[in-house]
Amino acid sequence: MPMVGRVGAVATVATLAFCVWLLGGWGSEDFRIAFEDNVFVVLSLFATGCAAHTAFRCRGRQRISAAFIAIGLAGWTVGSVLWAYYEWFLKVSPFPSAADIAYLMLPLSICIGLLIAPVGASGYTYTRLTLDGFIVTAAFFQIGWLTILGGLFEAGGASRFAVGVALAYPIADLLALTVAMLLLGRAPAPHRTPLTLLTVGMALMTIADSIFVYMNSHNDFRLTGYSSVGWALGLLLIALAGLCTGVPQQRVAGERSFSQVAMWLPYVPIVIAIGAAVARFGTTPGMPPALIASVLLIMLVLLRQFIVVAENRRLLAAVAAQAMSDPLTGLANRALFQDRLEHALALHRRDNRQSVAVLSLDLDDFKLVNDGLGHPAGDQLLVQVAARTLARARSSDTVARIGGDEFVVLMEGDDVASREVAREVLRAFDEPFVVDGHDLLLRPSAGLAMVSADDAEVSPELLLKQADMAMYAAKRSRTPGVHTFSPADVSVADAPERDRTALAYDSTVAYKLLGQLRHAIDNQELTLAYQPKFALGDGSIVGVEALVRWPHPDRGLLAPDQFLQLVRDHGLMRPITELVFAKALDQIAQWRDLGLLVPVAVNVFAPSLSDSTLPETVGRALRRRGLPHELLTIEITEDLLLGNTEGAREVIKRLRQSGVRVAIDDFGSGYSALSYLRELYVDELKLDRAFVTTVLVDKRAAAILRAVIDLANELGLTTVAEGVEDPETAALLRDYGCQVAQGYLYTAPLTPAAMLSLLRSSRQAPDEAISS
């Protein structure tokens, strides 16, 4: 047993023996007085020493706190010395006396010491603690006064000073006791044992003091033994509290939020005090109504306080929950996801049994929904996506939204099951979403990364990054289904091409680029490249497609995919479209003036199609240059036609009535291509590059392409194959009945000057143009 433990044990045994003696009352009167007084001097000295020892061992606020308790105990020691002097030498037992002042130092110092002690849970202010202490003390005092003390002082003819001292004991004791109890309710574990000892010690002292006051004011000393036992045990416990105060290592981690009981504790005595007052005065005839009203007021204020406290607790809980959830969808947010992921990986490290999988989902073309239908519609869509994802995941999985349209699912357990969940989540997107009355078919790109049972350690960041890289790989390859991470995806993610696309996504870069882009648009610095379209039949040029370029001061010539996202994100679509129209039509007019009548195709963002003034604007632009409407084709991207089909249909109809041709771009890359064919009347289908390039190797793709070309021919639509890169593909497409082709086989997009010379040479010899 360590030294401290032995000292405590000896003190306890000795004190208990003393208590037995006190109650037994052996020995002569003189001996008893002398022995008792001396034991109290020794006992209080011992307690003082214990507290001083604690002050010596601790630091900071805890040291000051222990020092105050030591001072209080020293006061009590002085009191007991004085008392011994009175009883032993002067043979009197005065009340009140100077000894009482010294004794009273103990509860007051304990009170101050406790308020200084660094044990209260954070957020609980000391002002409130002190106020609570006073409230409870006042309430207890009222209870005491109404039940015993009041009658006592009415009966006895005690002096004012005597009344004051007699009242000071219960008030000071109760104050210290209350503060001790309130702190105990909030104390973190390491402080609880000493505080409990101190609190119980203080309670015993309070009882003993009250008996003492009662005896002196009633001149009835039969209970002397009990008050002495109270003091002896009280001192012992306070001494033991000092002995077992541990020196805190650091700030105590994980402070427990204080209990309900600790919260309501201060109110209980108030209610009892009011009850006592009502019991005492309730029957008194002629009670002033104002008094009743006051009591009522207090009760109502109390009730209000209860409600406020309860509301605060609810608010706190809500705030805590909100810090962990995404406000829009109610899913977990990034913080909570991160936390769960760390926890899952920690478990994985420890048990090495369960695998941990992260599924990363990014909605394809979500931006277009936001731009086309507005942000509230985008929000609705996200909420639906969240609900579906959540419904398909297991209850043990964590589904989180960690960015605008990025969702992640954390899955623990068996690999096979995790894969199945991932597939299941993806199947949730088979049905269209209904937003604002529109059916939207929207798919996510999905990447899965996992650490299996016997994999080496993986950090949470790395696992999430792998899932993202897998997702990017899926997005790039445009393959449906879940793409599981493989080391090859790292090169995909880091390839320069991906960096190119990512350019506009990096926020700091994007910010700078945006300013430069605005400037470039204002100064008409964007240029156009032209890619010719060739008739598969005779190789003649049937038109050109205008493709926007940005000659960037530092980055060179930028292609659309490096800045179009920025255009969409920042509402620059209209100025860009206007600029492209103006330049393309100027170019056509210029070529016409040189005797070359070339049809031109211009790409238009789908949202611009719901602009009902588009046909008029386009018509004016053509007329101003004296160009026939038939020379212009407007290309719209098929999956851009999500949503507002009604408005788009009307605009398309008016454009076509005016003679302008309309083409569906990237046909086959979206999901409900055929339904658009039924709904929209257009002139041309541009078969998507991804479709065309696989046609030689993929039998299914070839069959579908053939069917689509047949169908288009049936409907009287021109079919244009994009991205034709080799003669075999061109030959196959011609066999299938496709009329027009465009692609690197013939030429990449050209500068206006290069395009002009190609036009000139091809006019003379169309077949040579193809082979050049």
Interface residue list for ligand C2E (CB under 6 A): 531, 547-548, 559-561, 564, 580, 603-605, 635, 637, 665-666, 689, 722-725, 742-744, 749
- Please, what is the minimum distance in Å from the beta carbon of residue 361 to Ca ion? 26
d(CA 106, CA 210): 15
- Please, what is the minimum distance in Å from the beta carbon of residue 561 to ligand C2E? 6
Place of tokens 């390491």: 190
- Please, what is the minimum distance in Å from the beta carbon of residue 689 to ligand C2E? 6
Q: Of 48-56, 205-213, 585-593, 600-608, which segment contacts Ca ion by CB under 5 A? A: 600-608
Choosing among ligand C2E, Ca ion, none, which partner's interface includes residue 639 (Cβ < 5 to 8 Å by kind)? none
User: 438 or 568, CB closer to ligand C2E?
Assistant: 568
d(CA 625, CA 155): 116
- Please, what is the minimum distance in Å from the beta carbon of residue 449 to ligand C2E? 29
User: 36 or 639, CB closer to ligand C2E?
Assistant: 639
User: 378 or 723, CB closer to ligand C2E?
Assistant: 723
User: Quick one: which of 651, 503, 634 has its CA closest to 563?
Assistant: 503
- Please, what is the minimum distance in Å from the beta carbon of residue 628 to ligand C2E? 21
- Please, what is the minimum distance in Å from the beta carbon of residue 765 to Ca ion? 27
Cβ(37)–Cβ(80) below 8 Å: yes
Helix (H, G, I), strand (E, B) or coil at 652: helix
Choosing among ligand C2E, Ca ion, none, which partner's interface includes residue 725 (Cβ < 5 to 8 Å by kind)? ligand C2E
C-alpha distances out from residue 50 to 78, 437, 512, Å: 16, 79, 68
- Please, what is the minimum distance in Å from the beta carbon of residue 725 to ligand C2E? 5
Place of tokens 């010294």: 102
**Binding footprint of Ca ion, residue count (CB under 5 A):** 5
- Binding of Ca ion at residue 639 (CB under 5 A)? no
- Please, what is the minimum distance in Å from the beta carbon of residue 563 to ligand C2E? 10
d(CA 690, CA 478): 9
Residue of 603, 633, 644, 762 that binds Ca ion (CB under 5 A) = 603
Encode 453-483: b = buried (16+ Cβ within 10 Å), e = exposed: eeeeebebeebbbbbbbbbbbbbbeeeeebb
Amino acid identity, position 523: N
The per-residue DSSP string of 495-543 comes to SHHHHHHHTTTSHHHHHHHHHHHHHHHHTT--EEEEEEEEETTT--EEE
- Please, what is the minimum distance in Å from the beta carbon of residue 601 to Ca ion? 7
- Please, what is the minimum distance in Å from the beta carbon of residue 604 to ligand C2E? 6
d(CA 136, CA 601): 85
User: 405 or 635, CB closer to Ca ion?
Assistant: 635
Choosing among Ca ion, ligand C2E, none, which partner's interface includes residue 604 (Cβ < 5 to 8 Å by kind)? ligand C2E
- Binding of Ca ion at residue 365 (CB under 5 A)? no
- Please, what is the minimum distance in Å from the beta carbon of residue 690 to ligand C2E? 9
d(CA 435, CA 572): 25
- Binding of Ca ion at residue 210 (CB under 5 A)? no
Choosing among ligand C2E, Ca ion, none, which partner's interface includes residue 87 (Cβ < 5 to 8 Å by kind)? none
Exposed/middle/buried for residue 608 (C-beta within 10 Å: 0-12, 13-18, 19+): buried
- Please, what is the minimum distance in Å from the beta carbon of residue 608 to ligand C2E? 8
d(CA 604, CA 568): 12
User: 615 or 743, CB closer to ligand C2E?
Assistant: 743
User: 43 or 717, CB closer to ligand C2E?
Assistant: 717
- Binding of Ca ion at residue 397 (CB under 5 A)? no
Choosing among ligand C2E, Ca ion, none, which partner's interface includes residue 194 (Cβ < 5 to 8 Å by kind)? none
- Binding of Ca ion at residue 638 (CB under 5 A)? no
- Please, what is the minimum distance in Å from the beta carbon of residue 488 to ligand C2E? 21
User: 212 or 667, CB closer to Ca ion?
Assistant: 667
Residue of 326, 635, 639, 684 that binds Ca ion (CB under 5 A) = 635
Cβ(111)–Cβ(181) below 8 Å: no
Q: Binding string to Ca ion for residues 558 to 597, with x set by CB under 5 A, is what?
A: ----------------------------------------
Q: Is cis: bond before 532, omega within 30 of 0?
A: no
* φ, ψ of residue 741 in degrees (nearest 5): -135, 155
Angle at 720 between CA 714 and CA 723, to 5 degrees: 145
Choosing among Ca ion, ligand C2E, none, which partner's interface includes residue 429 (Cβ < 5 to 8 Å by kind)? none
Cβ(750)–Cβ(529) below 8 Å: yes
| CA count, 13 A, side-chain hemisphere, 276 | 17
- Please, what is the minimum distance in Å from the beta carbon of residue 605 to ligand C2E? 5
The per-residue DSSP string of 421-483 comes to HHHHHHHTTSSPEEETTEEE---EEEEEEEE-TT-----HHHHHHHHHHHHHHHHHHT--SEE
User: 449 or 579, CB closer to ligand C2E?
Assistant: 579
- Please, what is the minimum distance in Å from the beta carbon of residue 520 to ligand C2E? 13
- Please, what is the minimum distance in Å from the beta carbon of residue 633 to Ca ion? 9
Choosing among Ca ion, ligand C2E, none, which partner's interface includes residue 539 (Cβ < 5 to 8 Å by kind)? none
Instruction: Retrieve residue 317's tokens.
Output: 């809980």
Choosing among Ca ion, ligand C2E, none, which partner's interface includes residue 548 (Cβ < 5 to 8 Å by kind)? ligand C2E
Q: Of 210-218, 411-419, 434-442, 628-636, which segment contacts Ca ion by CB under 5 A? A: 628-636
> Max Cα separation, the chain?
142
Choosing among ligand C2E, Ca ion, none, which partner's interface includes residue 647 (Cβ < 5 to 8 Å by kind)? none
Choosing among Ca ion, ligand C2E, none, which partner's interface includes residue 749 (Cβ < 5 to 8 Å by kind)? ligand C2E
Cβ(107)–Cβ(266) below 8 Å: no
User: 356 or 636, CB closer to Ca ion?
Assistant: 636
- Please, what is the minimum distance in Å from the beta carbon of residue 600 to ligand C2E? 11
Q: How do beta strands 541-552 and 556-558 pair?
A: antiparallel
Q: Of 12-20, 74-82, 365-373, 633-641, which segment contacts Ca ion by CB under 5 A? A: 633-641
User: 447 or 749, CB closer to ligand C2E?
Assistant: 749
* Close Cβ partners of 80 (under 8 Å, ≥ 6 residues apart): 37, 40, 41, 44, 99
Q: Binding string to Ca ion for residues 695 to 734, with x set by CB under 5 A, is what?
A: ---------------------------x------------
415 to 454, contacts with Ca ion by CB under 5 A?
Answer: none
Choosing among ligand C2E, Ca ion, none, which partner's interface includes residue 605 (Cβ < 5 to 8 Å by kind)? ligand C2E
Place of tokens 């209970």: 223
Instruction: Retrieve residue 410's tokens.
Output: 């954390």
- Binding of Ca ion at residue 326 (CB under 5 A)? no
d(CA 513, CA 492): 24
Choosing among Ca ion, ligand C2E, none, which partner's interface includes residue 561 (Cβ < 5 to 8 Å by kind)? ligand C2E
Choosing among Ca ion, ligand C2E, none, which partner's interface includes residue 560 (Cβ < 5 to 8 Å by kind)? ligand C2E
652 to 691, contacts with Ca ion by CB under 5 A?
Answer: 665-666
User: Quick one: which of 214, 250, 191, 245 has its CA closest to 70?
Assistant: 245
User: Quick one: which of 203, 211, 238, 216 has its CA closest to 227?
Assistant: 211
Place of tokens 């009730």: 303
* Close Cβ partners of 473 (under 8 Å, ≥ 6 residues apart): 447, 483, 488, 489, 492, 493
d(CA 724, CA 736): 14
User: 274 or 558, CB closer to ligand C2E?
Assistant: 558
Please list the residues that pair with 531 across neighbouring strands: 545
Residues that bind Ca ion (CB under 5 A): 603, 635, 665-666, 722
